[in-house]
Amino acid sequence: MALLDRLAGFEQRYIELEGLLSDPAVVSDREMYTKYAREHSELGKIVSVYRDYRQVLNELDESRELLSDSDHEIKDLARREIEALTSRKDGLESELKTLLIPKDPNDAKNVILEIRAGTGGDEASLFAGDLFRMYSRYAESRGWKAEIMSGHWTDSGGFKEVIAMVKGDGAYSYLKYESGTHRVQRVPATETQGRIHTSAVTVAVLPEAEDVEVELDPNEIKVDVFRSSGPGGQSVNTTDSAVRLTHQPTGLVVICQDEKSQHKNKAKALKVLRARLYDIQLREQNEKISQDRKNQVGSGDRSERIRTYNFPQGRVTDHRIGLTLYKLEQVLTGDLDEIVNELAAFYQAQAIEDAEANVAESAPVDHS
């Protein structure tokens, strides 16, 4: 059985790691010890359930043998045992499938959140501001910190673009499904005849990239400095503190001007640039791994319309999972838990199906 073979391999590696963690050479190497200890801890959860599962399979075999006993009472006892053990087996199988879902290595990371006004003029920029406040309040409710790294305000009080760093344990695991096009339907304040307008805002959620994950060559980055500007283009600084970075191999451009210090703006711009380059790497990997998959978890496809916010009906609809909630006001004040949890459950179920398909594909074919 392919699943059991795979689990047996995990157990073998777990036992091997136990030996390595008691090896004086490994203990004296802090980096190596930490690496092996983390792997040992992760495998421990799987191995523990696998051992219970294997024990249940053995007990099932023993109970089935008792079905051939001539004593009717023993047969009845065996049937009850088989029923209870089968239920236990099914539960452990479900737990193992969940544990075997490949972990997203970015889940624990901080997030670079980019929100841009799309079609809809001032109404789109105002809604970009609404979304930024929504995510900021959601971050606050989870004890995270949201810090603006760059913002292009409009005279109406909205954003053409806002880039923020969201710092918090597991921030990416909660926000990664927010990438895409968010559509708003409402009557603008300037609309005299009460007509509903439809506008769009794009959201990108990028995991913060470590220096070791994206190597930047300073010779490939063009740095321009200029004076910061606020709404309407007025200068808000008397020194050249704003920084524009152009990554020449890709053409990516990042501008940061919120700090009074040129060095701080450059440091922030480098963080954003690194995150965008890392995002490109992840997309390329996803395409290679799953050419035929239409739905890539956390791929951040900004062209996909993922959610509609309908103000006249007080309705929020997530189109990927068909979820509709009539609590628009609460959602916009940061109450995102129900949406985030439903999305996580949906994609976890999909990942389990993929894991089962992979196990089935790897199983030996019976040609008898």
Does residue 199 sit in the same domain as residue 115?
Answer: yes
- The total number of structural domains in the chain stands at 3
- DSSP states along 57-99: HHHHHHHHHGGG-S-HHHHHHHHHHHHHHHHHHHHHHHHHHHH
Q: Looking at the DSSP assignment, which residues form a beta bridge with residue 113?
A: 164, 205
Residue of 332, 343, 345 lying closest to 180 (CA atoms): 343
Query: How distant is the alpha carbon of residue 176 from its chain centre?
Result: 3
Residue of 124, 164, 167 lying closest to 142 (CA atoms): 167
pTM of the model: 0.67
Does residue 181 sit in the same domain as residue 224?
Answer: no
Other Cβ atoms within 10 Å of 120 Cβ, number: 19
Indicate left, alpha or beta for 233 from its phi (over 0: left) and psi (-120 to 50: alpha).
left
For position 1, what pLDDT does the model report?
57
Does residue 184 sit in the same domain as residue 320?
Answer: yes
Does residue 314 sit in the same domain as residue 172?
Answer: yes
CATH code for position 283: 3.30.160.20
**Is there a domain that residue 219 lies in?**
yes
For position 214, what pLDDT does the model report?
80
Residues of the chain with pLDDT under 70: 1-2, 190, 192, 211-213, 228-239, 286-303, 355-368
Distances (CA, A) of 56 to 1, 14, 59, 78, 173: 16, 21, 5, 14, 34
CATH code for position 143: 3.30.70.1660
Give the integer Cα–Cα distance in Å for 296 and 299.
5
Cβ-proximal residues to 40 (8 Å cutoff; 6+ apart), any chain: 14, 17, 18, 21
Domain end position, chosen among 52, 84, 100: 100
Domain end position, chosen among 291, 317, 347: 291
Block residue for tokens 């309040």: 137
Per-residue DSSP letter, 102: P
Residue of 339, 342, 341 lying closest to 328 (CA atoms): 339
Structural domain boundaries, residue 318? 107-208+301-363
Does residue 204 sit in the same domain as residue 111?
Answer: yes
Residue of 171, 131, 167 lying closest to 149 (CA atoms): 167
**Is there a domain that residue 368 lies in?**
no
Domain end position, chosen among 250, 268, 291: 291
**Is there a domain that residue 127 lies in?**
yes
For position 229, what pLDDT does the model report?
64
For position 72, what pLDDT does the model report?
87
Neighbour-count burial of 108, counting CB atoms closer than 10 A to its CB (0-12 exposed, 13-18 middle, 19+ buried): middle
Distances (CA, A) of 109 to 37, 208, 276: 20, 6, 14
For position 300, what pLDDT does the model report?
36
Q: What percent of the chain has pLDDT above 90?
A: 46
Does residue 170 sit in the same domain as residue 305?
Answer: yes
Which stretches of the chain are DSSP H helices?
Answer: 2-20, 24-27, 30-65, 72-99, 121-141, 171-175, 262-289, 328-332, 337-362
- Residue 365 C-beta-side C-alpha neighbours within 13 Å: 2
Indicate left, alpha or beta for 25 from its phi (over 0: left) and psi (-120 to 50: alpha).
alpha
| Token duo for residue 64 | 């089935």
Provide the angle, in degrees to the nearest 10, between the axes of the packed helices 337-362 and 72-99.
Answer: 110
Question: Under a CB-based contact definition with an 8 Å cutoff, are residues 277 and 300 in contact?
Answer: no
Does residue 199 sit in the same domain as residue 325?
Answer: yes
**Is there a domain that residue 296 lies in?**
no
Does residue 78 sit in the same domain as residue 8?
Answer: yes
Does residue 306 sit in the same domain as residue 203?
Answer: yes
Question: Under a CB-based contact definition with an 8 Å cutoff, are residues 179 and 297 in contact?
Answer: no
For position 281, what pLDDT does the model report?
83
